[in-house]
Structures are given as structure tokens and as C-alpha cells.
Amino acid sequence: MSKLMRPSFDAELIERHGGEGPRYTSYPTAVQFSDRFRAGDLYSAIAESNRLPIPPDLSLYVHVPFCSSPCFYCGCNRVITRSKTAGDEFLATLKKEIDLLGPRFDSDRLVRQLHLGGGTPTFLSVDQIEHLLNLLKAHFVFADDAEIGLEVDPRTVAPIGIKRLHEIGFNRISIGVQDLDPDVQKAVNRIHDTATVGATIGAARAVGFDSISVDLIYGLPLQTTAGFAATVETMVQLQPDRVSLFNYAHLPHLFKGQQRIKTEQLPTPATKLAIFRNALNRLLDSGYEFIGMDHFALPGDSMVKARTDGSLVRNFQGYSTHGGLDLVSFGPSAISQIGDSFAQNQRLLKDWTAAINEGHAATARGLTRTTDDRLRAEVIERIMCTGQLVYRDMERFFQLRFRSYFAEELARLEPLADDGLIEWTGEGFRVTPAGMMFLRAIAKAFDAYIKPQGQQQGRFSRIV
């Protein structure tokens, strides 16, 4: 297997092109969802998908919204509680939601993926997680080789729990580390020691999880270049299969919990860039391949194979090795994608619960893509997942002249080409090593919903 392109770091390019932009886990992005899209539209999308000559197989997602304590940096939809009954009450409502939606899908549509996110899925006990899995299996048939994964807070599950999770069917695990520096942990209210993280990764490896990934965040309060370098070095020694290196987006006007972070404790832009540069280079030097954006993986991982052979895709969980699936999501704020329709559940736990108890899907908003949306979604995904675009591929499928249809968009790319982020080919363009960190900026040129510069300030995270 050939090595993937190694990105290069250039502070001047980051200054020019590293501003805000969508992460493109969907196109159009969730910002464009409308409350005119409701439960009936979701039902229609499912029925239409079933009527296809060969309906796509399924990916399932369950949003477990609970955390026992707040991490101040978090922008996820979560409910802070120490209630002993919250988990059982959630599972009772979840059963109703699965009973409501599950029978609407043809029974021969296999589940290829399942992911539990949050919140903190391991807020639930292993017995409750097993019950959740059984609720899904009551209505959906899982492929023998299905990827079954969940996010884990190392503070909430012991090594024996990791073993049990594997025994009940989980084969992929994502561990939230963020930073191992005690001062940083205290500043963001997420305290766990290195031994706990090491024991979690070790237990997952010992019982045979197919993939172990960790999440790190740079740009948190009190972070220093030396401190975060030590965290990265520990990860290099522990050798998880995948590492996600997320850029902290400080958006206290959108996320109330972030108001508890002291702005004066955040690293300066220069320090933050140095932290990122050092982490990037250390991961690459230690053998990790750069997948795109903030994802790294060891050469033998399935994500590297998918990136190499062109089968990598983007969805609401980020990069994925399974394309062409309908995504069916459960829980508050969870987003489904059925064909060209997106449907997002009620965000608040009480509103989601009320809708399900009334006997209908908890859909609060969504949209159905137009032909133009589908075209742009395909263009953006190819940029994000393959780093190149061949115009004739789009022309054959959508019956158009690419250079004419996207004349304005291609003109927007000229400054990026002048700066060496892309290079034109006879049949399209490809991203250069210098452009690998700017995939979102390149893709953004094709986003029809991006308003003039400045009008959406503070809506999206920085690209770098």
C-alpha cells in the first residue's frame, strides 16, 4: 500500500486560508435545515428508499445525551445529571422510537454500522448498553461483519467493562482523551490520569477490538507546546489505531458551558499554531498517515485503505469507510440521512421524549436535497475524501458542462491555486501537500449557501 500524501505546514497560508468553514459532514450543512421538514417527510423518504430496485443497507446511530459532569469545552448536545433512573427512562423512550421507525425499513436491509455517541454513551452501564443493542436487533438484522462502535469516557468504564463491551458485540472504540496535562484538565473540568487512559487502551487491545481511536483537542485553556507535546508522545507510545486531533472552537455565544472557560487562559493564536504544528509533525514522524482534516491512522487501519482506494466517505460521524448507506439515527438531536433527505430529531430531551410518547417520529427539522445540492454534495465529498476532482465524472452523471456550471466557483479557487493549495490538471484539479490541511477551504468554494465574507462570523470552527 502506497503512503498517503504528507501535508506541509505553512503559517502564512494558514493566516490566509485557515478561517472559518463548515466541516462538511453533510451538504447542505445542518445550518440549512428547515422546521418545515417534519415526521411525515421522514416517513416518505424511508418509503421511497424501500422502493429502490436495490435499497441501500443501513448505518445506525444512537445519541446517548447524558454526562455526569460537564466538560467546559464541549459543544455537543448533552444533559448533565447524576440521576440513577435517567438511563432506564431514556431506554424506555428509545424502545418506542425504535419500535416506531424500525418496521418502516424492509427487513432485508442489513445493518453495516452502528455507532453510539453522546454525551457519554458509557454513562449507561454495560448491562444497559447490551439492552440497547438488543432493542435494535429486535427490528434490524446486523451483518456478520458489521462495525459496532461507541465513544468511551475513560473515567466511566473500567477495563472489565471494556472486556464486556467486546463480548456483547462491540468491535470499535473511541476514547475521549483530549489532554493529559493536569492543569488543562482542571481548567476544562475533565480530570483523568494517564494510567486510566493507558488501562482503557490496553484493555481494548487485549480483548481484540478491531479499531481503537483516541480524540485529542488543541487550543484548550492553559495548554502549552511542551505540555501538549507530552500528551501526543504518550499517545504515540500507546499506539491507538486512529487519532483525531481536533481544533477547539471557542464559541461561548453558542455553547453555554464554554462560558466557564477563562478567555485569558486560552493559548495565543501563535501558541495554538505551534501546538498544532508540533503534534502534526510528531504523529506523521511516528508513522501515522494523514487521512484529512484532523484524522490520522496507522498504515494497516481500514481508514487508510479506504483513503487509498477512494472508498472513503463523509457522514455525521466524520470520515467513514462505508459509503452508500442510509443513516438511521435515534435519540435527541440525532440526524438521519435517508437518500437525499436529512431529518434531525428534537434537540431537547423533554421535547424528544414528548414527541415519541405522542406516537410519531421526533423530527424537528431537515431538508430534501435538490439536484444542485446533490451535485455539490458529490463535488465536496470527492474533495474532502480523495483530494482531487475529475470534471468528466460529474459531467457524465449529472449531464452538464462542469466548467460552465461552476465558472464562478472555479474562479474562487484561483487564489488557492496561486498559493499552491491545488494544481490544475487537464481534466480537473488535485490538492497538493500544502493544500491537504485546507480541504474545507477548497470545498467551501462550491458551497452555494456560504454568504458573503463576515455574515456568518462565529458560526463555524476555524479550518486550521
Residue 462 lies in a domain: no
- Residue 313 burial (10 A CB sphere; 0-12, 13-18, 19+): middle
Q: Which pLDDT value is given to residue 322?
A: 85
Contacts of 261 (CB under 8 A, 6+ apart): 72, 73, 187, 188, 221, 250, 252
Considering the domain architecture, whether residues 141 and 225 belong to the same structural domain is answered as yes
Residue 305 has pLDDT above 90, yes or no: yes
Considering the domain architecture, whether residues 112 and 192 belong to the same structural domain is answered as yes
Q: Which pLDDT value is given to residue 460?
A: 79
Q: What is the pLDDT of residues 272-304, one digit of tens each?
A: 999 999 999 999 999 999 998 899 999 999 999
Q: Which pLDDT value is given to residue 411?
A: 96
Residue 144 has pLDDT above 80, yes or no: yes
Q: What is the pLDDT of residues 337-358, one digit of tens each?
A: 999 999 999 999 999 999 999 9
Kindly state the average pLDDT of the residues 44-58: 98
Q: Which pLDDT value is given to residue 223?
A: 98
Q: What is the band of 452 on the pLDDT scale with cuts at 50, 70, 90? A: low
Considering the domain architecture, whether residues 150 and 237 belong to the same structural domain is answered as yes
Residue 250 lies in a domain: yes
Residue 206 lies in a domain: yes
Considering the domain architecture, whether residues 172 and 290 belong to the same structural domain is answered as yes
Q: CA-CA distance, 129 to 91, in Å (whole number)?
A: 9
Considering the domain architecture, whether residues 19 and 143 belong to the same structural domain is answered as no
Kindly state the average pLDDT of the residues 425-433: 95
Considering the domain architecture, whether residues 44 and 21 belong to the same structural domain is answered as no
**Beta-sheet strand order (sheet of 242-247):** 289-292, 295-297, 242-247, 211-218, 172-178, 142-152, 111-118, 58-64, 326-330, 335-338, 341-345, 363-368
Q: Which pLDDT value is given to residue 51?
A: 98
- The position carrying cell 494510567 is 195
The residue among 145, 116, 111, 147 whose CA lies nearest residue 129 is 116
| Grid coordinates given for 314 | 463523509
Indicate which CATH number applies to the domain containing 407: 1.10.10.920
Where does residue 208 fall: left (phi above 0), alpha (psi -120 to 50 degrees), or beta otherwise?
left
End-to-end CA distance of the chain: 28
Q: What is the pLDDT of residues 58-107, one digit of tens each?
A: 999 999 999 999 999 998 999 999 999 999 999 999 999 999 999 999 99
As a three-state string, the secondary structure of 365-421 is EEEECCHHHHHHHHHHHHHHHHCEEEHHHHHHHHCCCHHHHCHHHHHHHHHHHHCCC
| pTM for the predicted model, two decimal places | 0.95
Residue 455 has pLDDT above 50, yes or no: no
Q: Are 436 and 384 in contact (CB under 8 A)?
A: no
pLDDT > 70: percent of the chain: 98
Residue 358 lies in a domain: no
Residue 125 lies in a domain: yes
Q: Are 385 and 313 in contact (CB under 8 A)?
A: yes
Q: Which pLDDT value is given to residue 453?
A: 57
Kindly state the average pLDDT of the residues 182-210: 97
Considering the domain architecture, whether residues 23 and 47 belong to the same structural domain is answered as no
As a three-state string, the secondary structure of 414-450 is HHHHHCCCEEEECCEEEECHHHHHHHHHHHHCCCCCC
Kindly state the average pLDDT of the residues 415-423: 97
Considering the domain architecture, whether residues 151 and 98 belong to the same structural domain is answered as yes
Q: What is the band of 166 on the pLDDT scale with cuts at 50, 70, 90? A: very high
Q: CA-CA distance, 206 to 240, in Å (whole number)?
A: 12
Residue 445 has pLDDT above 90, yes or no: yes
Q: Which pLDDT value is given to residue 456?
A: 53
Lowest mean pLDDT among 40-49, 247-256, 273-282, 384-393: 247-256
Considering the domain architecture, whether residues 23 and 108 belong to the same structural domain is answered as no
Q: Taking all residues of the chain, what is their mean pLDDT, rounded to a whole number?
A: 94
Considering the domain architecture, whether residues 418 and 282 belong to the same structural domain is answered as no
Residue 43 lies in a domain: yes
Omega into 18 within 30° of 0, i.e. cis?
no
Number of independent structural domains in the chain:
2
Q: Are 186 and 236 in contact (CB under 8 A)?
A: no
Considering the domain architecture, whether residues 160 and 179 belong to the same structural domain is answered as yes
Q: Find the domain containing 393 and state its range.
A: 1-27+370-455
Please list, residue by residue across 349-367, b when 16 or more beta carbons sit within 10 angstroms of its beta carbon and e when fewer do: beebbebbeeeebbbbbbb
Considering the domain architecture, whether residues 20 and 35 belong to the same structural domain is answered as no
Distance of CA 421 to the CA centre of its chain: 24
Q: What is the pLDDT of residues 364-413, one digit of tens each?
A: 999 999 999 999 999 999 999 999 999 999 999 999 999 999 999 999 99
Residue 425 has pLDDT above 70, yes or no: yes
Q: Which pLDDT value is given to residue 343?
A: 98
Kindly state the average pLDDT of the residues 13-35: 93
